[in-house]
Structure 1
């Protein structure tokens, strides 16, 4: 076990290096970087606001600027140094968990993550807990009543919910419950006067705002867990030890919850760490955009569009590291749940 953990930890370094290197190389060939955007803005300002766009800034956008001004812009964004040197400096900063400063927001990447994290945590945790609270009991009930009308109807509902994209469902919820019926707010995580409300009113206001986006995310996310739970229970119910327990005269309830339940939940429990940690750092771009929620999904999208490379690479490093550690914890949980698993 110890050797396996050390091996996995050592493998994280080349994995992180490969992800960062690939992304950094791709960035070098993407047009419309921060230097080109700044040059285009200055050229457009000098030309009465009709200068070239960021995507076509290139060399022609520099005609209205002196070479010295262009060099100053490169120094401002750190592009005066060759790419290998910039990459090495980035790695040294990341090794010290310094994710750098945003080009446009004048804030550190850590600060931006902490600002956006509450929104993504709100969406992720509610989606995670509600999905598991619905999916696991539903999967058990479907397995016990396999082939019945209940199983058929719930399977149909689950598959339909899984097939509907969360964004489409969110639009429908906004139109019906936010627009026509006006039962829920159309945007934001809390009301503008949230600070002036009492504690109970704050909780009610927060739940009032979070209902529609969480509903849009839950409907599709619990389908996989429900079907996985059902299939795991069906597989265990058909095994020999269940027949033996029944032959000994044990009640069906005792057989189900004492013997089957523990073994059937192995694939669910082993995926629990990844799902739980992912709930803290998962940003849904479409849902956040639709409901005007300023979370990590929107931050990642805007940083890519604006070519805010420190935010892109900093968040990529952080989330990749979290993902690798979570994957290791998930693999180790197999041994804790099922002692038969060995990493030899």
Structure 2
């Protein structure tokens, strides 16, 4: 039954992929004009003029004068074969431009997700079990502050503390000597020494939110009859809480996987600019401003694919940890 459920979810992901690809391409095609229009306007502001015949020739060369469905079919058929097209602004294959940036973005998002879970889970359990204690009030106050503080402000504060008190290098994810170096164990170690600051910054608000969610869900479970029955049978308090209520209260944690990855990648643009992070967010913003449709479309499509994969993983994990879920 579980295997059939997983297979059905995987098969449903295929039409979802084509649906979101169509929406993604429609979004990047929606603004008036195209890259050549933006390029001509930029040159006009600097006093240079571009011949309209040349623009028309370039538009025909890049296929920008074709109907929407034809442009979409050319793009998605190339994507299926691993060809995301050519970036107009960079004049390079899109796959070469986004490869390392998306890998770093996914690594940062995964590290942030692990940090968020590792911090929010025990704190949320403590806050629920010790309801209305001094520790609960302190956690609640800190959580509200974490939710209300913008990520870029936390970034500036942590940058000041890291530089002034610890002498740490907080610009980017690598030291200058490893910036363009090939991957090695030394470069991975350098990445690990830099990644903790953006992980804390991006995980602050998410941790505060999940602490509140975990506390509320666990409080609902702690007062149900099955907990009283298990306690009456002589189970230790720790074993009782961890085996039953916490397992059922984990559902919101698992369900966040579907949106956590794309939200962390696309929602950290300002933080990436503040910390000079070579991630997907700044390049995506630049591509959208320049109407570089193939570069922006590749980023948006990959973010949508991360959502699809995240929802698939969360559905499978929910089916594994929660016996109340019916596979039908």
Where does 1:256-335 land on structure 2 (aligned, <5 Å)?
256-268=241-253, 270-271=254-255, 273-274=257-258, 284-335=268-319
2:326 paired residue number = 342
1:90 CA drift (Å) = 1.9
Partner Cα separation in structure 1 for residue 270 and residue 290 of structure 2: 18
1:279 CA drift (Å) = 8.8
Alpha carbons of structure 1 residues 262 and 223: separation in structure 2 relative to 1, 3 Å: same
Q: Which has the larger radius of gyration?
A: 1
Deviations 1:92-151 (A, max 9, x none): 223334322211223322222212134323422321111111111111111111111111
Q: Secondary structure of the residue that 1:320 maps to in structure 2? A: helix
Select 2:47's aligned residue among 45, 50, 72.
Answer: 50
Select 2:75's aligned residue among 90, 100, 109.
Answer: 90
Select 1:113's aligned residue among 98, 102, 110.
Answer: 98
1:285 CA drift (Å) = 0.7
Alpha carbons of structure 1 residues 302 and 273: separation in structure 2 relative to 1, 3 Å: same
Select 1:239's aligned residue among 224, 229, 238.
Answer: 224
Deviates more, 1:250-259 or 1:220-229: 250-259
Between the two proteins, the alignment pairs up a number of residues equal to: 324
1:57 paired residue number = none
Instruction: Check whether the contact 1:303–1:311 (CA below 8 A) recurs between aligned residues.
Output: yes
Does 2:235 match 1:222? no
Partner Cα separation in structure 1 for residue 142 and residue 170 of structure 2: 27
Does 2:227 match 1:210? no
Alpha carbons of structure 1 residues 254 and 175: separation in structure 2 relative to 1, 3 Å: closer
Partner Cα separation in structure 2 for residue 204 and residue 318 of structure 1: 27
Partner Cα separation in structure 2 for residue 220 and residue 287 of structure 1: 13
Instruction: Check whether the contact 1:125–1:280 (CA below 8 A) recurs between aligned residues.
Output: no
Deviates more, 1:201-210 or 1:95-104: 201-210
Select 1:65's aligned residue among 51, 56, 65.
Answer: 51
1:201 CA drift (Å) = 7.0
Partner Cα separation in structure 2 for residue 242 and residue 182 of structure 1: 47
Partner Cα separation in structure 1 for residue 20 and residue 259 of structure 2: 22
Unaligned runs of 5+ in 2: none
Instruction: Check whether the contact 2:255–2:311 (CA below 8 A) recurs between aligned residues.
Output: no
Partner Cα separation in structure 2 for residue 271 and residue 24 of structure 1: 27
Deviations 1:61-106 (A, max 9, x none): 6xx6253x23322133322433332222223223334322211223
1:236 CA drift (Å) = 1.8
1:208 CA drift (Å) = 4.0
Partner Cα separation in structure 1 for residue 301 and residue 64 of structure 2: 20
Deviates more, 1:203-212 or 1:334-343: 203-212
Normalising to structure 2: TM-score of the pair? 0.84
Alpha carbons of structure 1 residues 316 and 149: separation in structure 2 relative to 1, 3 Å: same
Normalising to structure 1: TM-score of the pair? 0.81
Unaligned runs of 5+ in 1: 52-60
Instruction: Check whether the contact 2:124–2:211 (CA below 8 A) recurs between aligned residues.
Output: yes
Instruction: Check whether the contact 1:120–1:282 (CA below 8 A) recurs between aligned residues.
Output: no
Q: Secondary structure of the residue that 1:136 maps to in structure 2? A: helix
Alpha carbons of structure 1 residues 43 and 241: separation in structure 2 relative to 1, 3 Å: closer
